[in-house]
Amino acid sequence: MTGHVALVSAGPGDPELLTLRAAKRIAAADVILYDDLSAGPILAQARPDARLINVGKRAGRPSCKQDEICRMLVAEARGGATVVRLKSGDAGIFGRLEEELVALREAGIACEVVPGVPSACAAAAAAAIPLTRRLTARRLQFITGHDLTGGLPASLNMAALADPEATTVLFMGKRTFPELARRLVAAGLAPDTPALLAESVSQPDQRLTRWTIASLAAHLEQGPGAAPALILFGALAD
């Protein structure tokens, strides 16, 4: 009998930020394939006899390939297991969700997507700032800080990113932010535009520091550090 796969969004890592549905799916799973950033105390929600498989991806470290993750999801479900694919933040935001959905659908595996608290929203909440403001921050944009090569994506819309009335959240971008900051300033964004560096959001070692885009770029050029992070910039990041 074919099993079922739940693609579960774990939120930023604090188990108190799990949705009720996410907690129920984790507790019912026979097998959990989890990302590094969705591990830790969240896995304490799993059954003692559940099989836990680390398939996390971290920049600059050996990582499980996406096609292997898809293969494992299909194989476990075909074996009759109730499977959870545990993904950090919200699975639909830079989480390779679509590739896993396509693989499961092509294999005829029943699946569902469980949404979660995006790490960007958790970072803003931790910093006690909104992501939008009527009249002055009318637009919110999420971008990734690297492409498949690890460099800054070449196709970024710099006019949109340099819009002073937008709040921009950069995912996985500590290494490439100095180059992005140079391009932002060249596109017209003021060097003193506020920026928030949110590291290890919702974790015990969470660290929130406020900069300008120019000072943060200079800081990160000295070394990005290992902590997972988001960068928010725009007027509301002050």
pLDDT tens-digit profile of 57-78?
765 566 789 999 999 999 999 9
Where does CATH 3.30.950.10 sit in the chain?
Answer: 120-237
What is the residue type of 70? C
Q: What is the mean pLDDT of residues 22-47?
A: 94
Q: Please give the pLDDT value at position 36.
A: 84
Give 150's pLDDT tier (boundaries 50, 70, 90). Answer: confident
DSSP H stretches of helix in 164-212: 177-186
Per the CB < 8 A criterion, the answer to whether 22 and 13 are in contact is no
pTM, full prediction: 0.92
User: Tokens 């996410």, residue?
Assistant: 22
Structure-block tokens of residue 126: 């931790």
Where does CATH 3.40.1010.10 sit in the chain?
Answer: 4-117
Q: Under 8 Å CB-to-CB from 138, ≥6 apart: which residues?
A: 132, 165, 166
Per-residue pLDDT for 90 more than 80? yes
Q: Please give the pLDDT value at position 117.
A: 97
What sign does the CA torsion over 37, 155, 224, 237 have?
A: negative
What sign does the CA torsion over 56, 34, 124, 133 have?
A: positive
Q: Please give the pLDDT value at position 2.
A: 85
* Mean pLDDT for the chain overall: 94
Give 149's pLDDT tier (boundaries 50, 70, 90). Answer: confident
Query: What is the number of residues in the chain?
Result: 238
Q: Please give the pLDDT value at position 58.
A: 61
Q: Please give the pLDDT value at position 63.
A: 76
- Chain segment 158-177, per-residue pLDDT in tens: 999 999 999 999 999 999 99
Q: Domain 120-237: which CATH class?
A: alpha beta
Q: What is the CATH topology of the domain spanning 4-117?
A: Cobalt-precorrin-4 Transmethylase; domain 1 (3.40.1010)
